[in-house]
Amino acid sequence: MRNMVSTEFADADDFYLGVKACRGAGVLIRSTIYENSIYVVIGDPDTNIFELWSMYGEVVVSTGEVVLDCNEMQYYWVNKANGLLTVGRGLQSGTDIVLTHELPEGLNWNEVYFVNLGDSVTEFEKQVKAPPFALLKALCDLSVKIRSSWRLQQSS
């Protein structure tokens, strides 16, 4: 787990982030309805593919694209306008779209976390205060559950 993004953009339609990692980087966006919280996974820890996960680690959207670079900061924008969650590359919202999905009910930018989902070192453009301990523990538990599930699939 990394750092909570400050919420000066809580009322905005979009926000931007920079990520430098080989794999396993993501953004957790908490919903007022816990079950509707989502992960924008910028490099699945096992496949390195850009995905959207449910709060329970289920893949909701898989793009099939590998978008991270171990040596260079990559920039992304996240938008929640018009009832859609849209994510794209770059620093101009609306360009180079990577994924679009129906906006989950209650999703807002009040709680946004940069997350290291794997064993790879992840560097985020902006780092601020750490999240509450309970959320950190829940994210660690989810990460262990996902890795265990993947290992079981690989051994069968």
Domain of 60, CATH number, reads: 2.60.120
Taking only the tens place, the pLDDT of each residue in 126-138 is 643 344 455 555 6
Identify the segments of the chain with pLDDT beneath 50: 1-6, 127-132
Whether 6 is in a domain gets the answer no
Check if the beta carbon of residue 97 is closer than 8 Å to that of residue 86. yes
pLDDT score, position 121: 83
- pTM of the entire structure? 0.74
pLDDT score, position 52: 94
pLDDT score, position 131: 45
Instruction: State which residues form the domain around 109.
Output: 14-151
Whether 28 is in a domain gets the answer yes
Whether 84 is in a domain gets the answer yes
What's the number of domains the chain is made of?
A: 1
Whether 114 is in a domain gets the answer yes
Whether 119 is in a domain gets the answer yes
pLDDT score, position 2: 45
pLDDT score, position 140: 61
**CA separation for the pair 48, 3 (Å, rounded):** 21
Q: Can you point out the beta strands (E) in 22-149?
A: 25-31, 38-42, 50-54, 59-62, 74-79, 84-89, 97-102, 107-116, 122-124
Find all residues with CB under 8 Å of 76, minimum gap 6, and list them: 16, 17, 18, 19, 42, 87, 88, 89, 90, 98
Find all residues with CB under 8 Å of 108, minimum gap 6, and list them: 10, 31, 32, 80
**Phi, psi of 146, rounded to the nearest 5 degrees:** -65, -45
pLDDT score, position 33: 86
